[in-house]
């Protein structure tokens, strides 16, 4: 098969040898492709060439190559079908096979495919969720080791505290699930299995790029659908590229861009040269991808999200600086309220305070925030009370406060607080580093190291079982198989 802008099986196969794909034989891949086309696409030949012959070649169309490969990988490695999967749950040994597809998707999807997939499913949120499960596993391992090794160091019963906090989380989840039950019946708030969003993304792009003849053969559209005419430059650019690599028989007046799309030929490298075309296959692929990237950036803009992660020292410093600014803004409010209590405000000033709800609300909100602020488990409350005491005594003695005085008192107390927070943060960093260092644990706790290894493996199995349960429930839901191509 001569090279067109589409990709042959050999070109995408393992080591480009044309023998295997993702470790599966050509025969297995062919059977899987037929099953995909019949199950998800109503028999439409999305993976096959432009004929209906028995030996129709497998091709991967450039516009959706990455998505077609990703879907094929998901189906070939489907742990719900192989003998290792259980009727009552997924083997945890297969969980990594599923979650690895996220990495594959990020590495192999083109820009426009990623753009559309993100519209159907926030793949980065999925990756973040998998990472959270891993973090959960690590944190659980740490707390179990600490519960055992620090048992004699504390008068408090941390086992009881741990049980209570776990129960509080369970209660919160039960209430939350109950309150959202009207929504949960209709839609999953989160999804981990990529098959459904991949199918939706393929459908969206395919409906823009292709149509199907009476034999279910996939044919390319010569122009974008009418709804994209609003993007004039993109519309014209797409038509120009199609005009280079796709030959369709003229139908009537060529001036009006009328062609018989059913009689179309994908020009190969040799045919392009014979027509005097300077652009090669690779240039056409790049230009088409760029046009589609522009199109789908317009249609499906990606919303930037900020994911939560552990506080670094830099983060702590920035938050403490913000807290210092808020403290300086709070002190004048406190002084005004304190003068009110001491009867040192004029009648007009008292009337302003009592009739100004926004002032009272701001005072209460700022004080509550500062009073309940804490970093590394160290509360700021005693520092706030100390500062309030200093200014309260000054006001009682009629000592005026200035901006300079506010700065001095704030700086001294915030520095004391920061030193304590930094020391506690460093202690935590060292302790967590030790808990994650098996060589250190083996040296420090040689007498119980086998138990520590067992806890680590149990937590690993626990995390995999959590992911396995989520994936199995999503598969049993059956929503993936309800997706069909629509034109």
- The DSSP result for 161-177, as a single string, is HHHHHHHHHHHHHHHHH
Question: How far is residue 133's CA from residue 463's CA, in Å, rounded to a whole number?
Answer: 6
Q: Are residues 264 and 338 in the same domain?
A: no
pLDDT, position 307: 39
pLDDT, position 287: 94
Question: How far is residue 186's CA from residue 180's CA, in Å, rounded to a whole number?
Answer: 11
pLDDT, position 479: 52
pLDDT, position 486: 44
Q: Are residues 372 and 326 in the same domain?
A: yes
pLDDT, position 234: 95
Taking the CB of residue 456, how many other CB atoms lie within 10 A of it?
Answer: 18
Q: Report yes or no on 206 lying in a domain.
A: no
Q: Report yes or no on 410 lying in a domain.
A: yes
Q: Are residues 330 and 443 in the same domain?
A: yes
Cβ neighbourhood burial of 171 (10 Å; 0-12, 13-18, 19+): exposed
Cα atoms found within 13 Å of the Cα of residue 464, Cβ hemisphere only: 17
Q: Report yes or no on 424 lying in a domain.
A: yes
- The token duo for 287 is 């230009």
- Supply φ then ψ for residue 450, to 5 degrees: -65, -35
Cβ neighbourhood burial of 234 (10 Å; 0-12, 13-18, 19+): buried
Q: Are residues 277 and 231 in the same domain?
A: yes
Is the sign of the CA dihedral 432, 434, 439, 441 positive or negative? Answer: negative
pLDDT, position 122: 65
Q: Are residues 405 and 441 in the same domain?
A: yes
> How long is the chain?
487
Domain count, the chain: 2
Taking the CB of residue 214, how many other CB atoms lie within 10 A of it?
Answer: 7
Q: Report yes or no on 361 lying in a domain.
A: yes
What is the maximum alpha-carbon separation in the chain?
100
Instruction: Out of 299, 328, 354, pick the residue that ends a domain.
Output: 299
The helix/strand/coil state of 402 is coil
pLDDT per residue, tens digit, the chain (487 aa), is 578 899 999 999 999 999 999 999 999 999 999 999 999 999 999 998 776 666 778 999 999 999 999 999 988 887 666 554 555 666 666 667 767 777 788 788 999 998 998 887 766 666 677 777 778 888 888 888 888 888 777 766 788 888 888 888 887 777 666 666 655 555 555 567 788 888 989 999 999 999 888 888 888 988 899 999 999 999 999 999 988 888 776 666 555 656 666 677 788 888 888 888 888 889 999 999 999 999 999 998 876 544 333 446 677 788 888 889 999 989 988 888 888 788 877 777 777 777 766 777 788 888 888 988 888 778 899 999 999 999 988 888 888 778 888 889 999 999 999 888 888 888 878 887 888 788 888 888 888 888 888 988 888 888 878 877 777 776 666 555 455 544 4
293: containing domain: 223-299
Q: How far is CA 122 from CA 116, 285, 297, 309, 345, in A?
A: 10, 26, 15, 18, 57
Q: Report yes or no on 440 lying in a domain.
A: yes
Q: Report yes or no on 67 lying in a domain.
A: no
Q: Are residues 342 and 406 in the same domain?
A: yes
Tell me, letter by letter, the H, E, C secondary structure of 275-336: CCCCCCHHHHHHHHHHHHHHHHHHHCCCCCCCCCCCCCHHHHHHHHHHHHHHHHHHHHHHHH
Taking the CB of residue 15, how many other CB atoms lie within 10 A of it?
Answer: 7
Answer whether 375's CB lies under 8 Å from 322's CB: no
Q: Are residues 413 and 347 in the same domain?
A: yes
Q: Are residues 328 and 412 in the same domain?
A: yes
Q: Report yes or no on 386 lying in a domain.
A: yes
Question: What is this structure's pTM?
Answer: 0.62
Q: Report yes or no on 328 lying in a domain.
A: yes
Q: Are residues 277 and 347 in the same domain?
A: no
Question: How far is residue 63's CA from residue 288's CA, in Å, rounded to a whole number?
Answer: 8
- The residues with which 20 forms a beta bridge, in sequence order, are 25
Is the sign of the CA dihedral 276, 278, 282, 285 positive or negative? Answer: negative
Answer whether 230's CB lies under 8 Å from 141's CB: no
Consecutive H or E run containing 441: helix 438-444
Of residues 46, 111, 485, the one with CA closest to residue 292: 111
Q: Are residues 351 and 429 in the same domain?
A: yes
Q: Are residues 410 and 276 in the same domain?
A: no
pLDDT, position 469: 78
Q: Are residues 429 and 319 in the same domain?
A: yes
Question: How far is residue 465's CA from residue 93's CA, in Å, rounded to a whole number?
Answer: 10
- Supply φ then ψ for residue 272, to 5 degrees: -65, -45
pLDDT, position 309: 39
């Amino acid at each position: 098969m001569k090279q067109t802008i589409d990709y042959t099986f050999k070109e995408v196969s393992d080591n480009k040898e044309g023998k295997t794909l993702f470790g599966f034989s050509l025969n297995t891949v062919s059977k899987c492709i037929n099953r995909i086309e019949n199950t998800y696409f109503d028999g439409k030949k999305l993976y096959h060439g432009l004929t209906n012959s028995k030996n129709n070649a497998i091709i991967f169309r450039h516009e959706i190559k990455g998505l077609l490969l990703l879907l094929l990988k998901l189906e070939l490695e489907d742990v719900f079908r192989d003998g290792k999967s259980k009727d009552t749950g997924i083997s945890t040994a297969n969980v990594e096979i599923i979650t690895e597809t996220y990495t594959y998707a990020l590495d192999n999807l083109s820009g426009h495919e990623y753009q559309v997939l993100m519209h159907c499913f926030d793949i980065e949120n999925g990756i973040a969720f998998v990472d959270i499960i891993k973090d959960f596993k690590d944190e659980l391992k740490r707390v179990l080791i600490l519960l055992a090794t620090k048992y004699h160091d504390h008068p408090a019963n941390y086992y009881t505290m741990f049980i209570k906090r776990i129960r509080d989380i369970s209660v919160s989840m039960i209430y939350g699930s109950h309150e959202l039950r009207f929504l949960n019946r209709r839609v999953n708030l989160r999804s981990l299995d990529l098959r459904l969003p991949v199918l939706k993304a393929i459908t969206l792009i395919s409906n823009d790029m292709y149509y199907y003849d009476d034999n279910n053969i996939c044919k390319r559209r010569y122009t974008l659908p009418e709804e994209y005419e609003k993007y004039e430059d993109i519309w014209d650019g797409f038509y120009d590229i199609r005009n280079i690599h796709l030959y369709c028989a003229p139908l009537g007046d060529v001036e009006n861009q009328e062609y018989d799309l059913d009689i179309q030929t994908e020009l190969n490298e040799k045919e392009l040269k014979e027509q005097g075309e300077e652009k090669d296959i690779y240039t056409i692929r790049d230009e088409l991808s760029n046009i589609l990237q522009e199109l789908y950036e317009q249609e499906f803009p990606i919303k930037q999200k900020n994911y939560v992660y552990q506080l670094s020292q830099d983060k702590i410093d920035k938050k403490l600086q913000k807290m210092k600014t808020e403290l300086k803004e709070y002190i004048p409010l406190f002084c005004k309220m304190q003068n009110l209590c001491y009867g040192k405000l004029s009648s007009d000033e008292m009337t302003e305070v009592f009739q100004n709800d926004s002032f009272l609300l701001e005072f209460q909100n700022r004080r509550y925030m500062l009073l309940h602020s804490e970093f590394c488990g160290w509360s700021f409350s005693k520092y706030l009370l100390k500062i309030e005491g200093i200014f309260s005594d000054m006001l009682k003695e009629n000592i005026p406060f200035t901006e300079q005085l506010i700065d001095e008192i704030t700086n001294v107390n915030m520095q004391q607080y920061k030193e304590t927070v930094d020391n506690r943060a460093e202690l935590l960093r060292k302790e967590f580093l030790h808990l994650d260092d098996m060589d250190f644990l083996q040296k420090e706790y040689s007498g119980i190291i086998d138990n520590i290894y067992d806890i680590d493996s149990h937590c690993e199995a626990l995390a995999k079982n959590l992911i396995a349960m989520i994936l199995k429930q999503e598969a049993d839901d059956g929503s993936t198989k309800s997706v069909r191509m629509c034109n």
